[in-house]
């Protein structure tokens, strides 16, 4: 027997998020999704404005992601001391400040500082809201996290579309608009509880010895699925052109893949109320593997990659509440997996490039299929070894109607 930490019911009656705060959180995820996707379309204008090479311009994205990891870990370390309301407010202000600096910078070094400041706020908002949604809705948390992260995809699609509509040269105005939205969101923070309910000790069925392997398995799932996500997103156009598709068709198929990442999260929301997180993860990992195997057939590849996007989409938001339930005594578990996934998203694309150089771009789906196979094995292991005491059970869909006192009250 081991002692786990569970929410104190005497303090759980206070809602963590009001309706206004929930809506504002979804808007915030549209904003961070757009921010992440804006750098690439802005590169031509950045090169023109600052006289830099494509590789140097790409440092904007590297600086953003590097700072985001710091933001995630910093938020976690300060969460108990300062609480969600103050840290989210600081994160929104950092994003606003960084966007203003980036938009008005007279030289490239100062613009890079702006991307770093944006990244700090980005990491804080990403971690803070995901953490709140993971615990605020009881058994509906998985569904609500998919809904929240679906709005990230909306922003990731809308940001580049806005650049395409206005023109890359108008990127300063777009970043200034982002800063204004971040400031407006500050006025909704009164609907965010400063602190989560204090945990109380509760005896559980002996998971203490398995905590480290469970966290490691979740980190593996997060890193590998993000590696597959970025691998497909970065190399799909090249692979499709290599097997005979026109450049325009390859670009359209890649856009459809990213759209599938958004669609999948919205589609899975009602399914999360009927099926358990372990069941959803297993199906998603099997789907990734199956569609990547299908992508080895040239004629089916564009459609297979769309299927890969649908399968990947629910993994990130579905696993986070399950992780919190599986290792409730490790408050840093969520920060570990989110930081690891961000690092993997930055580190894996160059590694994949080395592998493809050594083999051939036609081997892309086979290489990613191998990663998906490892994900599938990890999902089976987690399903057997990581308890999900408060999650739904696939054999009892009706339990979705049961709520807990820690759920949001609207």
203 compared with 197, residue with greater pLDDT? 197
Determine the Cα angle at 170 with ends 167 and 175, to 5°.
Answer: 125
C-alpha 194/C-alpha 186 separation (Å) is 14
Q: How many domains does the chain have?
A: 2
83: left (phi over 0), alpha (psi -120 to 50) or beta: left
pLDDT tens sequence across 300-339? 999 999 999 999 999 999 998 888 888 877 777 888 888 8
pLDDT of residue 205: 44
pLDDT of residue 14: 61
Mean pLDDT of 14-26: 90
Residue 5 has pLDDT above 50, yes or no: no
Examine the domain organization and report whether 188 and 215 are in the same domain. no
Examine the domain organization and report whether 299 and 389 are in the same domain. yes
Q: How many CB atoms lie within 10 A of CB 359?
A: 12
Which of 150, 166, 197 is the C-terminal boundary of a domain?
Answer: 197
Examine the domain organization and report whether 238 and 148 are in the same domain. no
List the CATH number of the domain containing 361: 1.20.1250.20
Q: How many CB atoms lie within 10 A of CB 224?
A: 25
pTM for the model stands at: 0.82
Examine the domain organization and report whether 28 and 147 are in the same domain. yes
Mean pLDDT of 67-95: 92
- Per the domain annotation, does 406 fall within a domain? no
- Per the domain annotation, does 239 fall within a domain? yes
Mean pLDDT of 270-293: 93
C-alpha 248/C-alpha 230 separation (Å) is 20
Q: Which of 62-66, 243-247, 274-278, 316-320 has the lowest mean pLDDT?
A: 62-66
CA 272 from chain center: how many Å? 17
**Sequence-separated (6 or more) residues with CB below 8 Å from residue 100:** 114, 175, 176, 179
Examine the domain organization and report whether 54 and 140 are in the same domain. yes
- Per the domain annotation, does 409 fall within a domain? no
Q: Is the Cβ–Cβ distance between 315 and 391 less than 8 Å? A: no
Which of 134, 167, 197 is the C-terminal boundary of a domain?
Answer: 197
pLDDT of residue 101: 95
**Sequence-separated (6 or more) residues with CB below 8 Å from residue 160:** 37, 38, 40, 41
Q: Is the Cβ–Cβ distance between 98 and 64 less than 8 Å? A: no
Examine the domain organization and report whether 378 and 252 are in the same domain. yes
Query: Which residues are registered as beta bridge partners of 5?
Result: 201
26 compared with 325, residue with greater pLDDT? 26
Token reading at 93: 């202000």
Token reading at 285: 């990992």
Examine the domain organization and report whether 149 and 243 are in the same domain. no
pLDDT tens sequence across 378-393? 999 999 888 675 555 4
Say which residue the tokens 């980036």 belong to.
102
pLDDT of residue 329: 74
Residue 48 has pLDDT above 70, yes or no: yes
Which of 178, 197, 216 is the C-terminal boundary of a domain?
Answer: 197
CA 356 from chain center: how many Å? 26
Examine the domain organization and report whether 346 and 391 are in the same domain. yes
> CA-CA distances (angstroms) from residue 22 to 33, 246, 354?
17, 43, 42
pLDDT of residue 396: 44
Examine the domain organization and report whether 9 and 127 are in the same domain. yes
Q: What is the DSSP string of 115-143?
A: HHHHHHHHHHHHHHHHHHHHHHTGGGHHH
C-alpha 378/C-alpha 13 separation (Å) is 36
Examine the domain organization and report whether 171 and 265 are in the same domain. no
- Per the domain annotation, does 306 fall within a domain? yes
pLDDT band of 398, cuts 50, 70, 90: very low
Examine the domain organization and report whether 257 and 362 are in the same domain. yes
Residue 146 has pLDDT above 90, yes or no: yes
- Per the domain annotation, does 13 fall within a domain? yes
Using DSSP, state whether 201 is helix, strand or coil.
Answer: strand
pLDDT tens sequence across 209-232? 588 899 999 999 999 998 898 888
The closest alpha carbon to 38, from 136, 162, 121, belongs to: 162
Say which residue the tokens 């086979």 belong to.
366
Element (H, E) at 199: strand 199-204
Q: Is the Cβ–Cβ distance between 335 and 202 less than 8 Å? A: no
Mean pLDDT of 79-86: 90
Alpha-carbon torsion, ordered 285, 156, 246, 372, to 10 deg:
-10
Q: What is the mean pLDDT of the chain?
A: 83
- Per the domain annotation, does 410 fall within a domain? no
- Per the domain annotation, does 404 fall within a domain? no
C-alpha 232/C-alpha 256 separation (Å) is 12
Write down the number of H helices and E strands in the chain. Answer: 14, 2
Examine the domain organization and report whether 267 and 370 are in the same domain. yes
Range of the domain at 292: 207-396
Token reading at 350: 């160059």
Task: Classify residue 85 by burial, with Cβ atoms within 10 Å: 0-12, 13-18, 19+.
Answer: middle
Query: Which residues are registered as beta bridge partners of 203?
Result: 3
- Per the domain annotation, does 403 fall within a domain? no
Phi, psi (deg, nearest 5) at residue 196: -75, 160
pLDDT band of 271, cuts 50, 70, 90: very high
């Amino acid at each position: 027997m081991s002692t786990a930490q569970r929410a104190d019911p005497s303090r759980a009656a206070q809602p963590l998020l009001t309706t206004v705060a929930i809506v504002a959180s979804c808007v915030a995820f549209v904003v961070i999704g757009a921010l992440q996707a804006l750098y690439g379309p802005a590169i031509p204008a950045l090169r023109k404005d600052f006289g830099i090479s494509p590789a140097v311009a790409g440092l904007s994205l590297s600086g953003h992601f590097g700072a985001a990891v710091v933001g995630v870990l910093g938020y976690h370390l300060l969460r108990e001391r300062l609480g969600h309301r103050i840290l989210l407010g600081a994160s929104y202000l950092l994003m606003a400040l960084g966007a203003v600096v980036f938009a008005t910078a007279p030289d490239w070094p100062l613009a890079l500082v702006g991307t770093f400041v944006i990244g700090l706020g980005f990491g804080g908002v990403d971690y803070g809201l995901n953490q709140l949604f993971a615990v605020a809705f009881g058994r509906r948390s998985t569904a609500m996290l998919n809904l929240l992260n679906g709005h990230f995809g909306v922003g990731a699609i809308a940001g580049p579309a806005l650049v395409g509509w206005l023109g890359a040269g108008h990127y300063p105005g777009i970043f200034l608009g982002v800063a204004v939205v971040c400031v407006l969101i500050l006025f909704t923070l009164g609907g965010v509880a400063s602190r989560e309910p204090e945990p109380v000790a509760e005896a559980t069925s002996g998971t203490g010895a398995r905590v480290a392997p469970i966290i490691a398995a979740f980190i593996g799932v997060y890193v590998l699925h993000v590696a597959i996500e970025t691998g497909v997103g970065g190399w799909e156009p090249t692979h499709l052109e290599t097997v005979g598709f026109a450049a325009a068709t390859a670009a359209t198929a890649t856009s459809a893949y990213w759209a599938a990442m958004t669609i999948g999260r919205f589609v899975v929301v009602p399914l999360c109320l009927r099926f358990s997180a372990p069941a959803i993860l297993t199906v998603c990992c099997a789907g990734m593997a199956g569609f990547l195997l299908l992508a080895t057939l040239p004629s089916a590849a564009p459609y297979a990659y769309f299927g890969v996007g649908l399968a990947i989409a629910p993994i990130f938001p579905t696993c986070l509440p399950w992780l919190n339930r599986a290792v409730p005594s490790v408050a840093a578990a969520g920060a570990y997996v989110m930081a690891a996934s961000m690092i993997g998203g930055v580190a894996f694309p160059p590694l994949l490039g080395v592998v493809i150089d050594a083999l051939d771009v036609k081997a892309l789906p086979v290489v990613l299929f191998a990663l998906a196979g490892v994900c599938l094995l990890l999902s089976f292991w987690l399903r057997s070894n990581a308890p999900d005491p408060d999650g739904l059970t696939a054999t009892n869909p009706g339990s979705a109607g049961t709520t807990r006192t820690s759920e949001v009250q609207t």
